[in-house]
């Protein structure tokens, strides 16, 4: 039986770029192999950004090339601009994800461009894709879609308009990210429905954070309105800088447990997934890992029928 939801593991990118320590390349590759072995079928493995800004990602091309040797999954890379996109496409990434902030204040502070100016950058990246690697897919991830620590409220109309502009520019899909952990389930349901009404099947992943404990509730709300791709991070790696001690990304183990317990197939073997925490812990000694399911263990009588795609 085929999986019904796609769990997109973002730990090697979102997680590793948020922690201070740099995981040695060999340890990253062992961890990525363990993630692949658990049945995950999509992974974000690196960011293509200058090494002086993010030394954790200096080996991005090597990590992408290794991940490409593992069969049957989509290897993604985050790129902030054209230069990063070129490097990621040349490394052979199957899919690029481009963060575009819906918050004007956040966008200006980070990239000195308005959200709609960023759509121009996205167009340029799409042209580059057509030239260098026409089969590669491009996803835009609308960050701060549910609120912004600089601006506060991000009007839903701004998010919907930006999603429509990105879809019109030609991206393959548009995801919504709760970058700052401010989303609630009612808002998630409403905004994904509005975006879907505007861009239909180009509606992409839910990238939720657990900063205020609502990560899984928000994923379930997104599922209820038709979202089928969910970003999460093994061990919740990627602490939120705005709430020290709090987990940032949704914990993959808990997300997979939730869906499997509901009878929604993920294709991921929970035992193998939890075993993938070992190479992560070895590569990042002392880094806190989160997750209620790994702490509690699987409940007595829990039987998982793992689908193989
Ligand atoms: Zn995240």
Reported as a single tens digit per residue, the pLDDT across 256-271 is: 999 999 999 999 999 9
Q: Is 219 a catalytic residue?
A: no
pTM equals 0.96
* d(CA 188, ligand 1 centre) in Å: 16
Q: Quick one: pLDDT at residue 20?
A: 87
* d(CA 181, ligand 1 centre) in Å: 9
Tell me, yes or no, whether 47 lies in a domain: yes
Tell me, yes or no, whether 309 lies in a domain: no
**Domain of residue 261, CATH code:** 3.20.20.70
* C-alpha dihedral, 120 to 122 to 123 to 124, nearest 10°: 90
* d(CA 237, ligand 1 centre) in Å: 9
Tell me, yes or no, whether 301 lies in a domain: no
CA distances from 77 to 3, 90, 266, 276 (A): 23, 12, 22, 21
* d(CA 117, ligand 1 centre) in Å: 23
As a whole number of angstroms, the distance between CA 21 and CA 56 comes to 7
* d(CA 209, ligand 1 centre) in Å: 6
Q: Quick one: pLDDT at residue 215?
A: 97
Q: Quick one: pLDDT at residue 294?
A: 96
Tell me, yes or no, whether 308 lies in a domain: no
285 lies in which domain range?
A: 6-296
| Residues of the chain falling short of pLDDT 50 | none
Tell me, yes or no, whether 305 lies in a domain: no
Tell me, yes or no, whether 79 lies in a domain: yes
How many domains are there within the chain? 1
How many residues make up the chain in this entry? Answer: 309
Q: Quick one: pLDDT at residue 247?
A: 65
**Catalytic residue from among 240, 255, 268, 274:** 240
Q: Quick one: pLDDT at residue 190?
A: 98
* Interval 169-178: pLDDT, tens: 999 999 999 9
* d(CA 300, ligand 1 centre) in Å: 32
Tell me, yes or no, whether 304 lies in a domain: no
Tell me, yes or no, whether 153 lies in a domain: yes
Q: Quick one: pLDDT at residue 102?
A: 96
């Amino acid at each position: 039986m085929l999986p019904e939801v796609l769990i997109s593991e973002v730990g090697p990118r979102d997680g590793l770029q948020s922690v201070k320590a740099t995981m040695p390349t060999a340890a990253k590759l062992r961890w990525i192999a363990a993630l692949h072995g658990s049945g995950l079928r999509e992974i974000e493995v690196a960011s293509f950004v200058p090494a002086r800004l993010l030394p954790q990602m200096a080996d991005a091309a090597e990590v992408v090339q290794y991940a490409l040797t593992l069969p049957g999954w989509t290897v993604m890379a985050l790129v902030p601009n054209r230069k990063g996109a070129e490097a990621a496409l040349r490394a052979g990434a199957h899919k690029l994800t481009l963060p575009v902030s819906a918050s004007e204040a956040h966008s200006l502070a980070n990239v000195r461009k308005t959200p709609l100016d960023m759509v121009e950058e996205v167009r340029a990246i799409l042209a580059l894709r057509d030239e260098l690697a026409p089969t590669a897919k491009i996803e835009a991830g609308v960050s701060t879609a549910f609120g912004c620590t600089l601006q506060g409220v991000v009007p839903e109309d701004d998010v919907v308009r930006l999603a429509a502009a990105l879809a019109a520019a030609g991206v393959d899909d548009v995801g919504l990210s709760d970058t700052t952990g401010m989303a609630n389930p009612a808002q998630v349901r409403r905004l994904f429905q509005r975006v879907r009404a505007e861009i239909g099947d180009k509606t992409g992943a839910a990238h939720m954070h657990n900063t205020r404990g609502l990560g899984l509730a928000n994923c379930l709300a997104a599922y209820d309105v038709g979202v089928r791709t969910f970003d999460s991070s093994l061990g919740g790696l990627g602490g939120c800088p705005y709430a020290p001690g709090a987990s940032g990304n949704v914990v993959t183990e808990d997300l997979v447990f939730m869906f499997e317990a509901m009878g929604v197939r993920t294709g991921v073997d929970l035992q193998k997934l939890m075993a993938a925490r070992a190479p992560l812990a070895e590569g990042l000694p002392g880094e806190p890992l989160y997750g209620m399911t790994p702490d509690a263990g699987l409940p007595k009588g829990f039987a998982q029928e793992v689908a193989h795609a």
